Amino acid sequence: MSLNQRIPNVQKLLSTAATVAATAMLVRSIAYDYIPNDIHRYLSSHLHNLSRLFSTRFTIVIEEFQGLSKNQMFDAAEVYLGTITSSSVQRVRVGKDENEKSLVVTLDRNEEIVDVFENIQMNWSLVCTQVEPSNCRNQNMSDLNATLRSEVRSYELSFHKRHKDKVLSSYLPYILRRARSIRDECKTVKLRTVIAYRSCWDPNAVNLNHPMTFKTLAMDSELKKELMEDLNNFLNGKEYYKRIGKAWKRGYLLYGPPGTGKSSLIAAMANYLNFDIYDLDLSEVRYNTELRLLLLSMPSRSILEHYSLEVKFSLTFALIYKQMTLSGLLNFIDGLWSCCGDERVIILTTNYKEQLDPALLRPGRMDVHICMSYCTPSVFKHLALNHLGLCRHGLFQQIERLIEDVKVTPAEVAGELMRNKDTEASLQGLLNFLQNKMNEGDKFISNNI
């Protein structure tokens, strides 16, 4: 058929299509004008239900929060989907801190991606809905996670409905396992703080970047060994905690004078466990409900630390003034709320253990009490090895004798060792520092006799 012969047929087809479209618009207009609203809604509802009946698709919605707690499935999907290469993706978010091991790739909002699992096509999309901020005191607890965030996020997973059982029993558990493996390979320990004006954890975590490890930690070797064994037992204790009917958590109280290495020990524990740190400042929390939300929104495999629980009076005053009770904190540490999450480490630090409320100290709350004492000869040797690379030296014996008689913190000793790069000058400077400190102590005693 020639081009001239085809043109009339095309024109006839277009004319017919235009007539059908015009007729459809007319019918739709008449329906809206003359069919009562109740009947219109009834027909629309039944047509929608009819279309769902014949649909072959099934959709699973994975929200970012499950009640008051972070949804582990959402976090796992976020990690897993960042590793998938698919031509269906148009936009992704990519970031990398200078200390992270690799690029961090996440799906951009309202973007879609296709995955294939055992020859089943899975369609993922990230749905984000903006939320207007409001006063959390006027909300129900179930609404707090939404009101404390600028947007509500969820993943939608769509697939053929005949695969529903396999997706629930095999695919989603596979994602949980794969995500945990990816985190262990690539994770950098994060540090999170509280956003004071919203009483929620800051989503923009910073990398801890603290190089302290148990290998470099200047601490009594026997105490360090016992602590590492305790942490290993905790990590491998899932079945044990379940068998004895206790929440899978561990509480550590670090006490001792300032400068004795409490912060360094926390960093070493975080790096050893590969757990993120959640820094809780009670002065930033106003109500028991806000405290509960903060603690429940912490994921598993994390460290909650609170610095400077100084004296009973100041803690009690702060809790009452903020309309938050000590029992609110204790109920999470050792009450029913403590069971809402696994593999959590709680660390409290203080300079004055004797002034803490005894309710905080009993077993089940603070399970392990670690005294961070003044420098000892063994700790000095570790510091000398770290800072100067020395295992022995002619001045060691004099320094060790002084350290046994003088109250000096590991931080003070480390500071003196760092003053000079020359080994002899550095050790001599430390020796002079210790002698001056002893002379000052003798002078103080003589003046008070």
Say which residue, 443 or 86, is predicted with more confidence: 86
Give the pTM: 0.67
Confidence bin at 428 (pLDDT 50/70/90): very high
- Strand-pairing partners, residue 230, are none
Say which residue, 171 or 147, is predicted with more confidence: 171
Is 297 a residue whose pLDDT tops 50? yes
List the chain domain ranges.
57-132+150-186, 192-371, 377-447
Helix axes 396-405, 377-388, angle to 10 degrees: 130
pLDDT at 34: 59
pLDDT at 291: 79
Angle at alpha carbon of residue 155, lines to 141 and 136, rounded to 5°: 20
| 287-296 tens-digit pLDDT | 777 777 788 7
| Structure tokens, 181 | 């493996």
Is 115 a residue whose pLDDT tops 70? yes
Say how far apart CA 381 and CA 399 lie, in whole Å. Answer: 10
Say which residue, 8 or 146, is predicted with more confidence: 8
| 77-94 tens-digit pLDDT | 988 988 886 666 677 777
pLDDT at 157: 95
DSSP 375-442: --HHHHHHHHHHHH--S--TTHHHHHHHHHHS---HHHHHHHHTS-SSHHHHHHHHHHHHHHHHHHHH
| 6-21 tens-digit pLDDT | 556 656 655 665 565 5
Say how far apart CA 179 and CA 80 lie, in whole Å. Answer: 5
| 171-196 tens-digit pLDDT | 999 999 998 888 777 777 889 888 86
Q: Hey, what amino acid is at 304?
A: L
Q: Hey, what amino acid is at 206?
A: V
With pLDDT > 70 as the criterion, what percentage of the chain qualifies?
70
Say which residue, 247 or 368, is predicted with more confidence: 368
Confidence bin at 265 (pLDDT 50/70/90): very high
Is 317 a residue whose pLDDT tops 80? no
Confidence bin at 207 (pLDDT 50/70/90): confident
Give the helix ranges, DSSP H, for 198-261: 221-235, 238-244
- Strand-pairing partners, residue 201, are 194
| Structure tokens, 273 | 């466990």
What mean pLDDT is reported for the chain?
A: 79
Say how far apart CA 155 and CA 138 lie, in whole Å. Answer: 28
Class of CATH domain 192-371:
alpha beta
Is 311 a residue whose pLDDT tops 50? no
| Structure tokens, 16 | 């017919």
Say which residue, 340 or 200, is predicted with more confidence: 200
| Structure tokens, 172 | 């989603």
| Structure tokens, 306 | 């609170």
Say how far apart CA 146 and CA 422 lie, in whole Å. Answer: 58
- The long-range contacts involving 101-105, CB below 8 angstroms and separated by at least 24 positions, are 101/185, 101/186, 101/188, 102/186
Angle at alpha carbon of residue 155, lines to 152 and 161, rounded to 5°: 140
Confidence bin at 147 (pLDDT 50/70/90): very low
Say how far apart CA 426 and CA 431 lie, in whole Å. Answer: 9
pLDDT at 293: 79
By C-alpha distance, which of 414, 360, 370, 362 is closest to 388?
414
DSSP 96-153: --TTSSS-EEEEPTT-EEEEEETTEEEEEEEEEEE-----GGGS-GGGHHHHTSSEEE
Report the sign of the C-alpha dihedral through residues 100, 103, 104, 108, in that order. Answer: positive
pLDDT at 65: 83
Confidence bin at 131 (pLDDT 50/70/90): confident
Confidence bin at 32 (pLDDT 50/70/90): low
Work out the average pLDDT over 415-440: 91
Residue 68 phi, psi (nearest 5)? -95, -10
